[in-house]
């Protein structure tokens, strides 16, 4: 959070709004839990093959539900705010929400599995959530100042979901030797992409209209 905040060159965001975003992230974790219980009730994953069930679980149940919960709160409560006035703000506020989510999730993991799991997650799940947020926030930032607003918003949710689902998909294949290593690879690629996205948005201001550039 400190790094993302520091990279915002042109207009530092108010700490009160950043704090609000963080606690919206905590709320989004609760929303995601409800959604996941609902998905479990409607779709019996066990009826599918191993790879199919794992893909549905990681992309739909986990990836989509968690990123959608963050996305909705970002769009409804932060996106229209007057302080969201430059493309980089999409990354800033998305990361704040995502870190609120990750913090609450860490508490749940600590309660369930003990303190040791937190040290492992500090170098895996937490930075992974940050990369998902940067993927979302990059396109939400574009959407704010583009005539293609809805397309960019949809792309932001899609990118975050795919990044999240891919990371969890490989992580869930722990019964197959070496395939779980794909989660580490996806995390490294996500970090590289995120640093590139941060650099691009950090050099933009809200004086430019119609962002049609995409990071590949």
Q: Which residue do the tokens 């199919």 mark?
A: 52
At CA 124, angle to CA 120 and CA 200, rounded to 5?
150
Q: Which residue do the tokens 């580490």 mark?
A: 184
Q: How far apart are CA 163 and CA 136, in angstroms?
A: 10
Mean pLDDT confidence for 171-190? 85
pLDDT tens column, 128-160: 999 999 999 999 999 999 999 999 999 999 999
Residue ranges per structural domain of the chain: 14-202
Q: Does residue 68 contact residue 94 with C-beta atoms inside 8 Å? A: no
pLDDT for 72 equals 98
pLDDT for 46 equals 59
At CA 70, angle to CA 23 and CA 200, rounded to 5?
100
Q: How confident is the model at residue 43 (pLDDT cuts 50, 70, 90)?
A: confident
pLDDT tens column, 53-108: 889 889 999 999 999 999 999 999 999 999 999 999 999 999 999 999 999 999 99
Q: Does residue 187 contact residue 132 with C-beta atoms inside 8 Å? A: no
């Amino acid at each position: 959070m400190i790094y993302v905040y520091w990279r915002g060159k042109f207009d530092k965001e108010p700490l009160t709004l950043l704090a609000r975003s963080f606690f919206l992230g905590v709320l989004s974790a609760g929303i995601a839990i409800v959604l996941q219980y609902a998905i479990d009730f409607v779709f019996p994953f066990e009826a599918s093959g191993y790879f199919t069930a794992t893909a549905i679980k990681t992309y739909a149940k986990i990836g989509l539900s968690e990123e959608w919960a963050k996305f909705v709160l970002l769009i409804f409560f932060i996106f229209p705010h007057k302080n969201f006035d430059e493309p980089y703000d999409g990354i800033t506020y998305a990361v704040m929400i995502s870190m609120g989510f990750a913090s609450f999730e860490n508490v749940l993991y600590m309660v369930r599995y003990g303190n040791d799991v937190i040290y492992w997650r500090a170098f895996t799940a937490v930075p992974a959530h940050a990369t998902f947020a940067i993927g979302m926030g990059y396109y939400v930032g574009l959407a704010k100042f583009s005539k293609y607003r809805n397309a960019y918003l949809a792309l932001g949710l899609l990118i975050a979901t795919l990044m999240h689902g891919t990371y969890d998909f490989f992580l869930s294949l722990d019964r197959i030797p070496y395939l779980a290593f794909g989660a580490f690879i996806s995390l490294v690629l996500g970090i590289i992409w995120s640093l590139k996205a941060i650099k691009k948005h950090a050099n933009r201001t809200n004086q430019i209209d119609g962002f049609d550039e995409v990071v590949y």
